[in-house]
Amino acid sequence: MSERSRRRSADPAAVEMLDLADREQHETVWSRLEQQQPQCGYGQLGTCCRICTMGPCRIDPLGEGPTHGVCGATADTIVARNLARMAAVGSSSHSDHGRSAALLLKAVATGRNTAYRITDVEKLQAVATRLDIAIEGRSFPEIANDVADAAINCFGKQDDEPILFLRKYMPQKRYDRLKELETSLLETTGKKTGLLPRGIDREAVDILHRTHFGCDADPLSLIMQSVRCSLSDGWGGSLIATEMQDILFGTPTIKTVRANLGVLDAERVNIIVHGHEPSLSEKVVELALSDEMQQAARAVGAEGVNIAGLCCTGNELLMRQGVGIAGNELHSELAIMTGAVEAMVVDVQCIYPSLADLSSCFHTRFITTSEQATIPGALHIQFDDEHADEIARKIVQTAIDAFPKRDQGKVFIPKQTATAMVGFSVEEILKALGGSVAPLVEVIANGSIKGVVGIVGCNNVKVQQDLYHQELTKALIERDILVIGTGCWAIGAAKAGLMDLSARSLAGEGLKAVCQKLGIPPVLHMGACVDCSRMLLLAGALAEHLGVDISDLPLVGSAPEWMTEKAVAIGTYFVGSGVATHLWPAPPILGGPEVTEILTAGAKELLGGYFFIEEGPEATAQRMENIILEKRAALGI
């Protein structure tokens, strides 16, 4: 394994594949990053603006060039506007996903869609009860119809009332703090500043409007609207996605899966599902495992059909169906290079356009399915949930048809896999705890567990793949800090064996004892990136149990290898929910001193949550422990 590949990834399977990429001269996201060097410093600092055609304008942070854009915008205005747009895009991506799930539930409830069904009636009743929707004496479709309507209404309603999901799920103390902040900002600045989201779509459109040429130039106001929009994601769109999907496909339960490229099977037709929305992939799994398709695969000389997940569609399937996961985002090209993938089927988000070209070097069919993520060079099979079975069958058949074209000489599947115990929905965590958060509160109060860190987010090719995820996670559990999380971090942790029960040996004595008693690992997989809502709900349950605000809890958030605008939204709704949140790499804000000050210091005062930037895993873990100890001291525990 070459030193160059080792510097690129901490995952031995990836290192083997990167050596292969170099040998075969396949372009990768790593090689393209090298070609992009040096990257634009203005972009990295957030001080370039191309909002209007008098620009693009750039502000030199050293003050050696212009200090204002052509229109007079300062560096802080430009940075804040850019950040707000990132939050709007990230929130919109999650929330549009939530909308699809709510519309699907509505279609199922009204009988318009017969391809899907309500799988988890217990969850349906729990969500309905939370929303004050009557359940007594009513049929499940009737209840589901009202739940779906309540969710759909959160997207497009036009009054100023905060959205229903936030009102019913956010702990009262947090809600009140945000309401009070709205009032105090009006009093101190004289400006109307909203924090509680009125409508999911509306808050994103508000940002698009206020960042249009000649509108909001005030960094504080732009940041507060970014918080409001992000809260409409965390306590709205993302939460709706999680809840609707649990009702439709089942709430995740604890199970053991395998993770890494070794889940691919040299003897079978391999189909990788990649993206974020589980509606299609659930069907692909169902069809692929059917006798009909297994037989069709045998007819072309394979031993059957094998499904593997990638990124967050993979997380959804792993959590609910126990499907093995081939890897996180940086594995997507590497998986195709194994030469053993008959089809990579994608829906939306985090899909490299490069996958089309790369697939053409192999027999792999790269299949796009969403009108929101079409990619030149891909085979497009349009998904439509009313005809889900038919479409999934066509996709699986396309993969089977590709199998005879596989070039055995090109097949190389790294052997590595790790086992991971996954499926920690809030419901499962409560079940493991005996029905309430009280035992968790007790072990936090007695110091067996010092606190909890929620880690989210991506891989970023600028960071050695998975290294920060692994090192930070290990440093935290060693300090008796329970680690929970989602997204590509969770896949990285699973691949590294940190979600295996054996990882308890890496934990401090207190955490180890608790995990042994509960029969769980010290690192808990809570789902896809959209499921960060599950972490909010767990935090909310702890806060309500203790009668405190979320910002009082010994709880820290982190996105150590983040990359997407969705991660900006997640980080911002963590902060808006009262959680101190770590970021690495640094977000493009450092060119705006006032913006940086508000996000890293001012926000603490205003919201209770704030961002901090830290490069090294050990230093980050230490800082997190300090924050946790500070919160514990304030709580008197």
* Binding interface with ligand SF4 (CB under 6 A): 49-52, 54-57, 69-71, 73, 78, 213
Sign (positive or negative) of CA dihedral 128, 484, 498, 270: positive
Cβ distance 99 to 152 under 8 Å?
Answer: yes
211 interface partner picked from ligand MSK, ligand SF4, none, CB below 5 to 8 A per type: none
In the complex with ligand MSK, the residue whose CB is nearer, 316 or 480, is 316
In the complex with ligand SF4, the residue whose CB is nearer, 74 or 600, is 74
In the complex with ligand SF4, the residue whose CB is nearer, 49 or 240, is 49
> How many CB atoms are closer than 10 A to CB 598?
23
308 interface partner picked from ligand SF4, ligand MSK, none, CB below 5 to 8 A per type: none
In the complex with ligand MSK, the residue whose CB is nearer, 269 or 455, is 455
457 interface partner picked from ligand MSK, ligand SF4, none, CB below 5 to 8 A per type: ligand MSK
Q: Going by C-beta distance under 8 Å and a sequence separation of 6 or more, which residues neighbour residue 136?
A: none
54 interface partner picked from ligand MSK, ligand SF4, none, CB below 5 to 8 A per type: ligand SF4
Nearest of 500, 523, 516, 513 to residue 454 by alpha carbon = 523
Q: Which stretch binds ligand MSK (CB under 6 A): 396-404, 518-526, 563-571, 627-635?
A: 563-571
Task: Return d(Cα 347, Cα 383) in angstroms, integer.
Answer: 9
228 interface partner picked from ligand SF4, ligand MSK, none, CB below 5 to 8 A per type: none
Cβ distance 526 to 430 under 8 Å?
Answer: no
Among the listed residues 350, 399, 579, 589, the single contact to ligand MSK using CB under 6 A: 350
In DSSP notation, 420-433 reads: EEE---HHHHHHHT
For residue 366, list its beta bridge partners: 344
Cβ distance 427 to 420 under 8 Å?
Answer: no
CB 315 to ligand MSK: min, Å: 7
Task: Return d(Cα 118, Cα 571) in angstroms, integer.
Answer: 32
488 interface partner picked from ligand SF4, ligand MSK, none, CB below 5 to 8 A per type: ligand MSK
Q: Which stretch binds ligand MSK (CB under 6 A): 59-67, 248-256, 331-339, 561-569?
A: 561-569
Cβ distance 144 to 120 under 8 Å?
Answer: no
561 near ligand MSK (CB under 6 A):
no
Among the listed residues 302, 426, 463, 529, the single contact to ligand MSK using CB under 6 A: 529
Q: Which stretch binds ligand MSK (CB under 6 A): 178-186, 437-445, 509-517, 562-570?
A: 562-570
Task: Return d(Cα 628, Cα 635) in angstroms, integer.
Answer: 11
CB 218 to ligand SF4: min, Å: 15
488 near ligand MSK (CB under 6 A):
yes
Task: Return d(Cα 211, Cα 219) in angstroms, integer.
Answer: 11
In the complex with ligand MSK, the residue whose CB is nearer, 257 or 507, is 257
195 interface partner picked from ligand SF4, ligand MSK, none, CB below 5 to 8 A per type: none
CB 225 to ligand SF4: min, Å: 17
Q: Going by C-beta distance under 8 Å and a sequence separation of 6 or more, which residues neighbour residue 17?
A: 261, 334, 337, 338, 412, 414
CB 461 to ligand MSK: min, Å: 11
56 interface partner picked from ligand SF4, ligand MSK, none, CB below 5 to 8 A per type: ligand SF4
CA angle centred on 202, ends 197 and 205, rounded to 5°: 125
Helix, strand, coil % in the chain, rounded to nearest 5: 55, 10, 35
In DSSP notation, 86-131 reads: HHHHHHHHHHHHHHHHHHHHHHHHTTS--S-----HHHHHHHHHHT
Among the listed residues 84, 222, 241, 312, the single contact to ligand MSK using CB under 6 A: 312
Task: Return d(Cα 242, Cα 534) in angstroms, integer.
Answer: 8
591 interface partner picked from ligand SF4, ligand MSK, none, CB below 5 to 8 A per type: none
List binders of ligand MSK among 565-594 (CB under 6 A). Answer: 566-567
Q: Which stretch binds ligand MSK (CB under 6 A): 72-80, 119-127, 138-146, 558-566?
A: 558-566
Task: Return d(Cα 168, Cα 406) in angstroms, integer.
Answer: 53
529 interface partner picked from ligand SF4, ligand MSK, none, CB below 5 to 8 A per type: ligand MSK
Task: Return d(Cα 581, Cα 610) in angstroms, integer.
Answer: 6
CB 591 to ligand SF4: min, Å: 13
Task: Return d(Cα 571, Cα 175) in angstroms, integer.
Answer: 18
Instruction: Please tell me whether residue 417 adopts helix, strand or coil conformation.
Output: coil
452 interface partner picked from ligand MSK, ligand SF4, none, CB below 5 to 8 A per type: none
CB 78 to ligand SF4: min, Å: 6
613 interface partner picked from ligand SF4, ligand MSK, none, CB below 5 to 8 A per type: none
CB 558 to ligand MSK: min, Å: 13
H/E element holding 334? helix 332-337
CB 49 to ligand SF4: min, Å: 3
Per-residue mark of binding to ligand MSK, 259-298 (x: CB under 6 A): -----------------x----------------------
For 464-496, b/e burial (b = at least 16 CB within 10 A) is bbbbbbbbbbbbbbebbbbbbbbbbbbbbbbbb
350 interface partner picked from ligand MSK, ligand SF4, none, CB below 5 to 8 A per type: ligand MSK
CB 136 to ligand SF4: min, Å: 56
Number of residues counted as binding ligand MSK (CB under 6 A): 17
Q: In what order do the strands lie in the sheet with 343-346?
A: 379-380, 365-368, 343-346, 269-275, 305-310, 325-327, 255-259, 418-422
Per-residue mark of binding to ligand MSK, 457-476 (x: CB under 6 A): xx------------------
Nearest of 197, 318, 252 to residue 534 by alpha carbon = 252
Cβ distance 344 to 326 under 8 Å?
Answer: no
CB 68 to ligand SF4: min, Å: 8
Among the listed residues 311, 345, 452, 498, the single contact to ligand MSK using CB under 6 A: 311
> Which residue ranges make up the site for ligand MSK (CB under 6 A)?
276, 311-312, 328-329, 349-350, 457-458, 487-488, 528-529, 563-564, 566-567
